[in-house]
Structure 1
Amino acid sequence: MKLYGFGGTRSQRALWGLKEVDADFEYISVNLLEGEHKRPEFLKINPAGKVPVLIDGDRVIPESAAIVLYLVDKYPEKALLPADLGERAQAYRWMLFAVTELEQPLWRITRHTMLYPPDKRLPADIALAREDFVAMAAILDKHLDKRTFIVGERLTVADCVTVYLIDWANEFHLIDGFPRLQAYLERLYARPEAPQRIAEARKAA
């Protein structure tokens, strides 16, 4: 397998899944700062021009959450999804909660602070996005009371997808008032399978 990615991006989420299943893969850096994601050879792999992308034989899988779910099916013995149907449903629930309720406000903040040209940045939307994130983060923080992982007694896809977002939010100081989220972040990144934190991965890119 080959993973096309760039340090500090959602590629870290795909890396987490690959490390958790102990997969044999090659990492290929696509330097976003130098525009390598816009080159014709990469656009043939992913017309959206985004990372990460996992290639496994003739299968081309973009989207970090989709990559993690693909690894669930490829390595069922690693049990990244619970066997119990009820717990599996909860893993899906929290994974989708992460990509819809937590990730979207973080993207809005990122776009309006560093991605958009200065004349297109909207400070008011940054403020609204911060409010949106904090409201949803409070729900997850409460859920994590007396829990090590989001679902069940071991790491699942819900954690692989979510913990990267908590680190992203930490970059904006959005979890300062959520001790359970802070503890969850430190606990999961202490795992030997964990990839680099966002700040470290950016420096190394």
Structure 2
Amino acid sequence: MTDDLVLYGNKGWTSPYVFSAFVTLKEKGLPFRMEVLDLQAGQHRRPEYTEPSSTGRVPALRHGDFWVAESSAIDEYLEEVFPPPAHARLYPADPRQRARVRMVQAFVRSDVLEVRMERSTATLFEGAAAKPLTPAGRVAAERLVAVAGRFLAPGAEHVAGEFTIADADLALLLQRLVHNGDPCPERLAVYAQRVFQRPSVREWLKQTAWRDR
């Protein structure tokens, strides 16, 4: 059954991690209900959320009486419970390509901290102004561009041959530069903009202050 899927996100629709789980659900065509928590008000710290979700963070997914938190765990759970061909494949069948997708997802979540801090998603989804990058921010931006260029082979449209959830995650990270006018090679900017035209992503953007450029 898919009518008992609930995704818990944050007020403001700014979390890149909620974004990842949201896009996965949309790409798989799964009906779900969105529950938005006010983190500033501490709604995620209430016992009725912290106890079943374990981490007390967003996103969390409730599927019937089962809960799972952390976006990459949610993505993989949905891939396994709602697999192809009935639902879109978001992790490649080939083990090496699947490992590549997981590598991209891990990088997006753990590296280039200065980019994620100095180009917060509030600059994308809430219209917040971006200040010039600090020297550390510029170094991190250069690293992001270099690594993304290796993830995305010249002429390739996706990191693993076809669209996967890693493309949504990587495109969002690149948009932190592209959308704010920071240096980014054209092919990576075009890639990020193309991913952001997918219907699943557009559904997310409708909830935000995003403006196409």
TM above 0.5, one fold?
A: yes
1:148 matched to 2:157? The reply is yes
Give the deviation of 1:73 after TM superposition: 0.9
Give the alignment of 1:1-205 within 5 angstroms.
1-6=5-10, 7-9=13-15, 10-77=17-84, 78-102=88-112, 104-109=113-118, 127-144=135-152, 145-152=154-161, 154-170=162-178, 172-174=180-182, 176-196=183-203, 201-203=207-209
Distance 1:50 1:106, change over 3 A: farther
Give the deviation of 1:173 after TM superposition: 4.2
- 3-state SS, counterpart of residue 185 of structure 1: helix
- 3-state SS, counterpart of residue 79 of structure 1: coil
Give the deviation of 1:187 after TM superposition: 0.4
Say which structure is richer in helix: 1
Distance 1:167 1:32, change over 3 A: farther
Give the deviation of 1:37 after TM superposition: 2.2
- 3-state SS, counterpart of residue 44 of structure 1: helix
Q: Specify the alignment match of 2:128 in structure 1.
A: none
The question of whether the paired residues in 1 share the 8 Å contact of 2:54 and 2:69 is answered with no
Give the deviation of 1:156 after TM superposition: 1.2
Distance 1:136 1:107, change over 3 A: closer
**CA RMSD between the two structures:** 2.9
Quick one: higher RCO (CA 8 Å, sep 6+), 1 or 2? Answer: 1
Distance 1:179 1:110, change over 3 A: closer
Q: Runs of 5+ in structure 1 lacking a partner? A: 115-122
Q: Number of aligned pairs?
A: 190
Q: Runs of 5+ in structure 2 lacking a partner? A: 124-130
**What is the CA deviation profile of residues 140-161 of structure 1, one whole-angstrom value per residue up to 9, with x for unaligned ones?**
1354321111111x21132133
The sequence identity of aligned pairs, in percent, is 25
